[in-house]
Structure 1
């Protein structure tokens, strides 16, 4: 399990949910991990939970200066997992410019800022792994989340374009695209369905799980295992891919 020994991984949005599960999986494969998110207290608790001297740095991925400062403190990066993101729902007719920009900033520009900070060192070293946590919303459309879908489609496009640029430089760039996963984002979606439709929480969860042919929500550790695999030295032929982790929802 030490296939990533000697590698330094930075995971954004790492204080909980999918991000924390990814950090744990990378650590279990021998990587030294730095957690990044906005909430210092949550990061400290997550680092303590992981143990082993796990480092953390506060960073707002929507702010280039904040990202640059955090990465300067973290040091050279071998593996970057862009997991930070937000989801918000509204009919397109009620998607104002502020909501549109917030989804782009959190889900697309944040990854751009982090890649700008980490990629030069990877190119100098001749080795690197970048994994962008997108969504099945980056591969298909969903009602009432046009801004989120647009941002995640953009993230998949960024993944594919950058993968071609660095293909012969020892760096791979891939995306994982989870379906509805047991995270706070899905809890928020359940609460929204309950509030707007009058359905029970159980009915709302069943409705979301129905999108998955397996009839269930994805677990964070399942996404984490896919990310860890893409980071392995043996995965060097995996480049420019958008891997759906969704039970067959998107093929």
Structure 2
């Protein structure tokens, strides 16, 4: 069954908008795990607008206690600065099961593109090897339709994460098939290259079932924005259980 990793960044956004400790990111993550989620995802950014470095150790302890995985996303090339020691340093501190490398810029609103695997890949290969040396599974964020996944495998990566934002947009307009096919083709190419397949960005209860029915071999979905938005109406535990029902029936 495809596994669900809940991204709790949006909980941190709400907390940081007022300062203080509410809503409590750790309590929200615990609620998700007690409802059956298979892991927690975070994406600490240099501007500290949501998950911050101080959140990571308590979250790592929580997921270890539940016997599930912590997935940390981020740009390995973002320079350290006060309050943000860099992605590698954060992973050295908490040793997540998985690190997902994303080529987002400083201050970028949200991740909106993946690695293309063109040009000189030596710097990226070095980063992959550094995270792998920590014992992390390394996943690379990619656009649906990328055709150079053999080069991604050659870097030493274990998985890719398909950027599903365009699929979600196409689904919302009622014409998802081309975007869905691009995701399915990418998943097949990844598996042929020996890479595992994750997916994430704007997946929701409305579009997830159709996606999994057409895209083969998805091992994990990382869902945050839609899940937290839906939880405002239905409650966090109930929303997590709703996603798990979709995954179980896919």
Is TM-score (shorter-chain normalized) higher than 0.5?
A: no
With normalisation by structure 2, the TM-score equals: 0.35
With normalisation by structure 1, the TM-score equals: 0.35
